[in-house]
Structure 1
Amino acid sequence: MLVFRNQTSYNRFWDGRNGMNTIYTCIRNLVRTIVTNGYSTAGPPTAAEKEDIERTIRILMSIPFAVKNHLRAEWGAAWALGNDVAENGVAAFNPDYASLLPAGLVGHEDEGLGLPFQLTFFVDGFIKRGVERGWFNAPGASQMQAQLNSLMDAYGKMETIKLTPIPVAHLIHQKQVLALFGCVLPFGMVDDMGWWTVPMVSLVIFTLYGIEGIGSQLEDPFGYDRNDIKMDAIVGDAKTEIDVVLAEWRRLMASLESATDNGDQHLGNGLVVEEEVKEPKFMPPDMFLKHRARPSGR
Structure 2
Amino acid sequence: MMSGSTVKSSFSSVLPNIRPPKLKRRHLRKYSWLPDVFRVKGSIMGRILGPVLTVTFFAILVSYSATKGYKLVMINSIVPLLSVVVGLILVFRNSTSYDRYWEGRKSFAALIAHTRNLSRLIWVNVGLPPTDAQPAFAKGKTPTSDLTHIQLRKHKADTLRLCLSFVFASKHYLRGEDGINYPDYHGVLPASFARFDEIGYNTQRKTPSGIYSATSNDAIVPGHDGSRSQSGRNSPDGKPDATKRIRVKRSKPQLTDISTPLLQHTHRTIEFHPFADEASIPLPLIIAHELNRIIYGYRRDGFLETVGPAGLNGLTQIISGLVDQLTALERVANTPIPISYGIHLKQCVTLYLFALPMTLVHDLGWATVPVVTAVAFTFMGIEGIADEIEMPFGNDDRDLPLDRYCQDLKEEVDYIIERLPEGGHGLHGYDDGEGDD
1:175 positional shift:
0.7
Out of 58, 74, 96, the residue aligned to residue 177 of structure 2 is 74
Q: Deviations over 1:69-101 (max 9, x none)?
A: 11111111x2x3xxxxxxxxxxxx31x413222
For 1:140, the equivalent position in structure 2 comes to: 311
Mapped contact 1:131–1:137 kept (Cα < 8 A): no
Mapped contact 1:22–1:154 kept (Cα < 8 A): yes
1:179 positional shift:
0.7
For 2:388, the equivalent position in structure 1 comes to: 217
Out of 99, 115, 130, the residue aligned to residue 42 of structure 1 is 130
Q: Give the alignment of 1:66-215 within 5 angstroms.
A: 66-76=169-179, 78=180, 80=181, 93-94=182-183, 96-105=184-193, 106-107=196-197, 108=211, 109=213, 110=219, 111-132=279-300, 133-135=302-304, 136-215=307-386
Matching residue's letter, 1:120: A
- Aligned to 1:19, what secondary structure does the other structure show? helix
More displaced 10-residue stretch of structure 1: 153-162 or 188-197: 188-197
Select the structure that is richer in helix. 1
1:152 positional shift:
1.1
CA distance in 1, matches of 2:318, 2:364: 63
1:46 positional shift:
3.9
Root mean square deviation, CA, Å:
2.3
Out of 75, 92, 116, the residue aligned to residue 28 of structure 1 is 116
CA distance in 2, matches of 1:112, 1:201: 52
Mapped contact 1:26–1:147 kept (Cα < 8 A): yes
CA distance in 1, matches of 2:119, 2:159: 9
CA distance in 2, matches of 1:5, 1:141: 45
CA distance in 2, matches of 1:224, 1:104: 29
Mapped contact 2:98–2:386 kept (Cα < 8 A): yes
Q: Deviations over 1:114-157 (max 9, x none)?
A: 11111011111122222231514212111222211121111111
For 2:156, the equivalent position in structure 1 comes to: 53
Q: Deviations over 1:154-212 (max 9, x none)?
A: 11111121122111000110111011111111222223322211110111011100000
More displaced 10-residue stretch of structure 1: 208-217 or 97-106: 97-106
CA distance in 2, matches of 1:33, 1:241: 14
Mapped contact 1:267–1:281 kept (Cα < 8 A): no
More displaced 10-residue stretch of structure 1: 105-114 or 156-165: 105-114
CA distance in 2, matches of 1:227, 1:181: 28
Q: Which protein has greater RCO, CA pairs closer than 8 Å, 6+ apart?
A: 2
1:104 positional shift:
2.0
In the superposition, the TM-score normalised over structure 1's length comes to: 0.75
Matching residue's letter, 1:235: C
Q: Percent identity?
A: 33
- Aligned to 2:400, what secondary structure does the other structure show? coil
- Aligned to 1:104, what secondary structure does the other structure show? helix
Q: Give the number of equivalent residue pairs.
A: 243
Matching residue's letter, 2:314: Q
Cα 1:245–1:189 change in 2 (3 A) is same
Mapped contact 1:6–1:211 kept (Cα < 8 A): yes
Mapped contact 1:39–1:45 kept (Cα < 8 A): no
- The structure with the larger Rg is 2
- Aligned to 2:127, what secondary structure does the other structure show? coil
Cα 1:225–1:267 change in 2 (3 A) is closer
CA distance in 2, matches of 1:237, 1:2: 36
Mapped contact 1:62–1:101 kept (Cα < 8 A): yes
Cα 1:19–1:146 change in 2 (3 A) is same
CA distance in 2, matches of 1:35, 1:64: 18
1:49 positional shift:
3.0
Residue segments in structure 1 that go unaligned for 5+ positions in a row: 81-92, 257-265, 269-279, 283-298
CA distance in 2, matches of 1:102, 1:228: 29
CA distance in 2, matches of 1:210, 1:45: 62
- Aligned to 2:192, what secondary structure does the other structure show? coil
CA distance in 2, matches of 1:209, 1:245: 48
Mapped contact 1:24–1:238 kept (Cα < 8 A): yes
CA distance in 2, matches of 1:45, 1:114: 34
CA distance in 2, matches of 1:244, 1:48: 19
In the superposition, the TM-score normalised over structure 2's length comes to: 0.52
More displaced 10-residue stretch of structure 1: 46-55 or 58-67: 46-55
CA distance in 1, matches of 2:393, 2:148: 40
1:40 positional shift:
4.2
